[in-house]
Structure formats: C-alpha cells, structure tokens
Amino acid sequence: MFDGFQLDHIGLGDVTLRVRHGGSGTPVVLLHGHPRTHTTWYAVAPLLAARHTVVAPDLRGYGRSTLPPDEPDKPDHAQSSKRAMARDVIRLMNHLGHDRFAVVGHDRGALVAFRTAMDHPEAVTHLVVMDSLPVIEHLERTDEVFARVWWHWWFLGQTENPAERVITADPDAWYSTPGPDVIGAENHADLWAALRDPAVVHGMCEDYRAGLGVDREHDAADRAAGRRVECPAMLLEAARDDLDIHGDPAKIWAPWLRRPLRHRLIDSGHHQAEEAPEQVSAELIGFFRSEAA
C-alpha cells in the first residue's frame, strides 16, 4: 500500500498530523471523510502520483493525527472546526514546500477542502468536493426525511449524552465496513485500529459538534459577505448515494462558486475512492489538466 510514498508525523503547532506523500508534479492534497483515515486513498494516490505530488494526511482527531484538548470554557468545539483543519492543510503543505496546490476532499474532508478554498484562495488552485455540500446548506434544508436518513449527524453531535459512550462500548456493532477483501487489507486494518481508539471516536464526534455550530457560522458569514470559491471547482457525486436528498447538488453548489461547476457522476456507493479508484483518478487528472487555475 502506497508503494514509493513516505510516511511522516509532522508537528504543526497545536497538532501533529500523520501524512503520506509521494509522486512528482503539481501538488494535490487528498482529504478523507468520516470515519476513514488517509489510507482510504490507497488505490487513488498511486494513480495520481505519476503526474502529481500527492499528499494524504489524517485529519486532526482522525486516524493517528492528534487533536488539541477540549476547552470547557470555549464550548463551540472550534478545535475541530473546518477552519482549524483548513489551517492544518495550509501549514502542512507549506512545511512540505508547496504554496499552491489542488485540494480534494470526500465527505467531511470535502468540508475541509471547501473551507481551505474559501479561507485561503491564494493557495488553492483547484477544488474537488466528493459527496458533500456546504454544511449550512444541509442544515437549512433539514426536514423529517433528512433527519431520519442522516440521523448520525444529530447523534454524533450531542453533548449532553455523548455518543462516545455508546460507540466505544462496542465499536464493532456501531461501525459496519466492507471486509479487507473489498477495501484492501492494510486499509481495513488501519481503519479498524482507528475505530477502536476512544481518542479517535471522540475526535470524530467533535468534528460533528463543530459542524452543527461554528462551521455553520463560518458558512453564514461567508455568504453574508458575498465570498465565493475563486478557483475551478468540480463535484464528484456517487451514483449510488443520496447527495441529492435536497435536490440537484450542482444547483446548491453554484452560488458558492465564481466559476461554473464541473459535475460528474461516479459509478459507486459513498466511498468512491475505494469503490471506483480508476474513475475517480481519471476525473481528477482530467480536471487538473483541462481547467486553468
């Protein structure tokens, strides 16, 4: 897995990120979603590495990356905000010698990718979001159907009766993942080492708690100020997922972007990088080649 890639643990001030990096060419950072680690990209990263320098970290609080301690006097969970994670991306890429790069994010990682492009337009050449919308767009459209189907958002985001108690009591019962024959033995082992770690479970819950509060506030402030993503953007939507629960996701994304959105369907379920790595890689390479920053 990740042949030819280097594995490092890089200190970035208040956190240390575990990161794989390798390849050569224009830089691309790959950001995983919940509940995965960076190893979800194990089949995509080598396909990109012939044309690009590929950087794949664990997000703060996930995998083997750290998370700052909770601050009881600051109950907004800002240590897990997408703004904080976006700063991690900038610091990591600068540490590795990259001041401009493409950013690709799946699921929760897409929220980080979006926030990186919004907060740091000078650094992001291309934005790719996979199976995600700005968090405020989900929350403003919340109805009985969304709450029933995406109920884990509300469960993981609770603070009075923390989800950690339920999950850590029996993580094998809580998480259902494909077997090692489907998602790769090393990826499967890395994922389950994380899911059985109470610190990681807490970090993932903090991600969702920030999403229900401070992340929404940041989106609302951007919209009120008229800020939009400046660089070329692409949405990769899994054909067998439910991103269209609120209607056409491309139309929902459009007001957040300065440029027309490239929208592609991927023949997969939610975990595109594991289920359709060749198609995902081809779409990424084509997008980076054809869209001038």
Cα angle 60-21-270, degrees, rounded to a multiple of 5: 60
Classify each residue of 161-192 as buried b or exposed e, where b means 16 or more C-beta atoms within 10 Å of its C-beta.
Answer: ebbbeebbeebeeeeebeeeeebbeebbebbe
**Domain assignment present for 107:** yes
**Domain assignment present for 157:** yes
What's the pTM? 0.97
| pLDDT (tens digit per residue) in 126-155 | 999 999 999 999 999 999 999 999 999 999
What is the count of structural domains for the chain? 1
> Average pLDDT of the chain?
96
Residue 146 CA to residue 200 CA, distance in Å, equals 26
| pLDDT (tens digit per residue) in 68-110 | 998 877 778 999 999 999 999 999 999 999 999 999 999 999 9
Q: Tell me, what's the pLDDT at 194?
A: 98
**Domain assignment present for 1:** no
The domain of 34 spans: 6-290
**Domain assignment present for 244:** yes
- Write out the H or E segment, with its range, that includes residue 266: strand 261-266
| CATH number of the domain residue 85 falls in | 3.40.50.1820
Taking residues 232-241, what's their average pLDDT? 98
Residue 44 CA to residue 39 CA, distance in Å, equals 10
**Domain assignment present for 38:** yes
**Domain assignment present for 234:** yes
Q: Which residues are catalytic?
A: 107, 270
**Domain assignment present for 48:** yes
